[in-house]
Amino acid sequence: MNAPVFASIAGRPEVSHAEMANAIRFLAIDAVEKAKSGHPGMPMGMADVATVLFTRFLKFDPADPAWPDRDRFVLSAGHGSMLLYALLHLTGYEGVTLDELKAFRQWGSKTPGHPEYGYTAGVETTTGPLGQGIATAVGMALAERLMHARFGGDFVDHFTYVIAGDGCLMEGLSHEAISLAGHLRLNRLIVLFDDNEISIDGATSLSCSDDQLLRFRASGWSASRIDGHDPAAVAAAIEQARHSDRPSLIACRTVIGFGAPNRQGTEKAHGAPLGADEIEKARDALSWPHAPFEVPHAVRDAWREAGSRGHEARRAWIERTRRPQSGERSAFHDALNRNLPCGYTDAMARIRSRFGSDQPNIATRQASQLVIDTIAEALPNLLGGSADLTHSNLTKAKTHRSVGSSAFAGNYVHYGVREHAMAAAMNGIALHGGFIPYGGTFLTFADYSRPAIRLAALMGVRVIHVMTHDSIGLGEDGPTHQPVEHLAALRAIPNLLVFRPGDAIETAEAWDCALRAKAGPSVLCLSRQGLPAFRNAADDTNRVALGAYVVVEPEGGRDVTLIATGSEVAIVMQAAKLLAADNVRAAVVSAPCFELFRRQSRDYRADVLGRAPRIGVEAAVEGEWARWLGDSGEFVGMTGFGASAPAEVLYRKFGITAEAVATRALQAIARSRMVAAV
């Protein structure tokens, strides 16, 4: 093996590539062994590749992990997290101490089982669900190209590197992601494939016979295969990829569990500690006679020198970006600032005022497009897109220009029929910084996007999903396209705001909430059919931000409270009028966001819900409604799938009408009075 040495400090013993790679291997081995849990095989196999990448190519500075022009490194094969933690520790990231490595997978440590964004310095994205890392990296690489087109190479000039395994490439998401990246020719994206031919069940030949190089080439990538244990070959391949005009796959043929004589090359090295006996044999085989967690000073110094290598590059970047005119410099930092500019507040106020005065009877997807048209110019970092449903989702502003392989100055991405890749790429765009991404599809296809939405919620990143055709109200397309369980499923995800606005004003307010939610993603569930306005005016109060609020409060107290979301608010408004004709006092509550309502004070929630019997109405399955309705409440909605018919027929056939709501309200009132009498 061609083994370079690292000896740039006078008087320090020469340190070989093998010694530096072995430091990674044995920190991983020892941490997994101490935890009695983890995955040592991948860090042992990819240590050579990672050593070359971090010592010769990766542009980073542990002193400033958030430096905007750093290279991004994504460990898509997140189960091999000790590879990353060892690298972060060895290169000098503050907080990733030796004690943290010893606390691998333990409560409160900075070294959880899979890398978590926002928790450990140097971790660019949460990974572990296979395929998510490589798809998120596509978004990072896209954001780099978009920012480069806007601000030039002095401000933005970096690469996105990924280590991915067989599992990442088997996941269907990977095909969506590599297809999108190849189409856009994201040449700053380099994937290092841990080509060890082993998965949990055994040899990959048990389940997969794909030619990955041909597959990537068919999607517009450059692709090559090398010996992943030959540092010279690794370096040459990375250098070539850095000059490619397209994204690159480097298949690194490695041995899983490299150095463990009885486990290397087998599935036994994948997901369990090696055991004391095998570890001792590995120490002998790799000439590493050091105690657990011990790294020789010379090796540690060589790694720290590699970690400091990017310090001058960062200082040069700071000096370079001080030279341009202040306007350009300000625009760059404004793009990275997660706060909304003053111009946005004025633009949102205008569209809310317009909706308040015009009282439009339009679909909330149409209202959403009017909002986007209004705020787009005030938010130059708003990046739109759709999964091949632009003209149905109505997500493209009049001022938006399409992004393409030779048009990175655009601000609208045509993601194609790739809902999952769109959601994951938007996570990467948000993580990279510089943009607020939003993307559209139908609500029923939230199932395709859900794993990436869940990760956005886990990471706490601002991503906005515009999901139209939100109920049986879409009509004739039938039950395959009519979402009934999706609202309940999305509401079950922690830290995800799910909005279902009931008219144009609520749509604007939902957008405002989503844009201001800097610590988590949002889903806007929007109607296909027109909805009448029920708010008389748009004042300065964003009522959607309360989660639920009283629209109609009858004089003299309540006999019943009617609660609805989205298109069903109009239905309960009509039901309240029918009840009023029978001298029944019905309050009407709009509840566009359960999650925000849950955050309000107990007293506020009690005032909104009242003491009278409650009727909940939503053209979906019941889900969380029971919490808000109480034991005496009634739910009017769906108990199964929809059907193919015009929307008005479906609402009538499934019993979601003003008359049905009024009848259920009278029944609930009667039961309540009987109980009170007893």
Q: Where are the beta strands (DSSP E) in 359-434?
A: 382-386, 412-414
Helix (H, G, I), strand (E, B) or coil at 345: helix
| Closest by CA position to 426, among listed 300, 498, 295, 521 | 521
Q: Which of 354, 628, 360, 632 is nearest to 491 (CA)?
A: 628
Q: Which of 212, 170, 168, 161 is nearest to 50 (CA)?
A: 161
133 half-sphere exposure, CB direction, 13 A CA radius: 36
Name the E strands within 39-152: 72-75
Q: Which two tokens stand for residue 392?
A: 């149905």
DSSP 189: E
- Check if 622 is active-site: no
| Cβ burial 479-495 (10 Å sphere, 16+ → b, else e) | eebbbbbbbbbbbebee
The closest alpha carbon to 6, from 280, 210, 309, 285, belongs to: 309
Is residue 433 classed exposed, middle or buried when 0-12, 13-18 and 19+ CB atoms within 10 A define those classes? middle
d(C-alpha 87, C-alpha 21), whole Å: 10
**Distance between CA atoms of 85 and 161, rounded to whole angstroms?**
16
Sign of CA dihedral 215, 219, 220, 226: negative
The H or E element that residue 203 is part of is: strand 202-203
Could you tell me if 57 and 50 are in contact, meaning their C-beta atoms sit under 8 angstroms apart? no
The beta strands (E) that lie in 257-411 are given as 382-386
Active-site annotation holder among 19, 176, 419, 595: 419
CA 14 – CA 298 distance, rounded (Å): 8
Q: Count CB neighbours of 220 within 10 A.
A: 18
Measured CA to CA, the distance from residue 658 to residue 567 in angstroms comes to: 12
Q: 212: part of which helix (H) or strand (E)?
A: helix 212-218
Active site residues per annotation: 419
